[in-house]
């Protein structure tokens, strides 16, 4: 039998990027513990709409932990207190009755607030555009065994490709670094034969695009790995740094 809990929500409200923003307090009563965190926000918003108040804006799409759209800092932790979990997969059974929950957006200069908990993550798209593709002509679907790939490289590439681009790594990093995201996108292409043709140009272009967007640098805090809902390893950052240095020296 599902339990019902009462909550006090301390939610960041901000009309737009120019607004200074502030926390507002809302009471959420009779919340079913089987609900996801986003479903709980839906219930709160229904109550606000009934009162003719502005609902809380938040990002969401698939609500299955795949798209990377959802994201907020819950009690100081990106995506909330449960490891390897997106905000849409976080359930209310993980919160105590009468708890106070603080909810705020990702905090980074490169992620300007659009409204409330919604941030503009198009900087990630521009990093991908800089080099997150391969230019070879693939034609029709290739025979699966046509291009030999070692299991070690295949596993590392697939682990990196699990990144959903949610931005939790940026929100968790004290420097608002996007190096885990960028390294994952570089690794999942550069480790495979199809991506090796332009691997040097790719790593230079994507790292420089990341720096241009205003993200901070990595200082080996490893908060990004802890916050990542897909558990992307910081080993990808070390690999990216090595590849970047080799590529820059080769260009000189």
Q: Is it the case that residue 252 has pLDDT exceeding 80?
A: no
- pTM for this prediction: 0.94
Instruction: Write down the pLDDT at residue 148.
Output: 87
Instruction: Write down the pLDDT at residue 194.
Output: 87
Q: Could you give the maximum distance between any two Cα atoms of the chain, in Å? A: 67
For 121-139+146-251, CATH number out of 1.10.1060.10, 1.10.3210.50, 1.10.10.10, 3.90.1150.10 equals 1.10.1060.10
What is the average pLDDT across 71-91?
97
Cα separation, 6 vs 25, in Å, equals 13
Where along the chain do the CATH 1.10.1060.10 domains lie? 121-139+146-251
Coil vs helix vs strand at 117: coil
Burial state string for 52-67 with b = 16 or more CB within 10 A and e = fewer than 16 = eeeebbbbbeebebeb
Coil vs helix vs strand at 178: coil
State pLDDT tens for residues 166-198.
Answer: 999 999 999 999 999 999 999 999 999 989 999
State pLDDT tens for residues 119-132.
Answer: 999 999 999 999 98
State pLDDT tens for residues 37-68.
Answer: 999 999 999 999 999 999 999 999 999 999 99
Coil vs helix vs strand at 74: strand
Average pLDDT of the chain, as a whole number: 95
**Surface-to-core class of residue 125, CB atoms within 10 Å of its CB (0-12 exposed, 13-18 middle, 19+ buried):** exposed
Q: Is it the case that residue 140 has pLDDT exceeding 80?
A: no
Instruction: Write down the pLDDT at residue 138.
Output: 66
Contact 219, 174 (CB under 8 A): yes
Q: Which of 5, 3, 8 is nearest to 101 (CA)?
A: 8
Q: Is it the case that residue 112 has pLDDT exceeding 70?
A: yes
Where along the chain do the CATH 3.10.20.30 domains lie? 4-104
């Amino acid at each position: 039998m599902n339990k019902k809990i009462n909550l006090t929500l301390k939610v960041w409200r901000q009309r737009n990027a120019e607004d200074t923003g502030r926390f507002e307090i809302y009471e959420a009563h009779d919340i079913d513990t089987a609900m996801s965190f986003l479903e709980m926000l839906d219930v709160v918003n229904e109550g606000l709409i009934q009162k003719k108040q502005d609902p809380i804006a938040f990002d969401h799409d698939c609500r299955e932990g795949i798209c990377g759209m959802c994201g907020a800092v819950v009690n100081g932790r990106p995506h909330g207190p449960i490891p390897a979990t997106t905000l849409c997969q976080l359930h209310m059974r993980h919160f105590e009755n009468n708890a106070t929950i603080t909810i705020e957006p990702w905090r980074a200069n490169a992620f300007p607030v659009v409204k409330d908990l919604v941030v503009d993550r198009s900087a990630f798209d521009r990093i991908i555009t800089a080099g997150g593709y391969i230019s070879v002509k693939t034609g029709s679907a290739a025979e699966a065994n046509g291009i030999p790939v070692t299991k070690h490289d295949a596993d590392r590439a697939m682990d990196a490709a699990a990144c959903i681009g949610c931005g939790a790594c940026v929100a968790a990093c004290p420097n608002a670094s996007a190096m885990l995201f960028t390294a994952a996108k570089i690794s999942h292409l550069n480790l495979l034969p199809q991506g090796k043709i332009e691997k040097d140009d790719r790593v230079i272009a994507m790292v420089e695009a990341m720096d241009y967007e205003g993200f901070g640098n990595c200082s080996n805090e490893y908060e990004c790995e802890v916050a990542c809902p897909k558990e992307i390893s910081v080993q990808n950052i070390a690999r990216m740094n090595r590849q970047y240095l080799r590529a820059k020296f080769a260009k000189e």
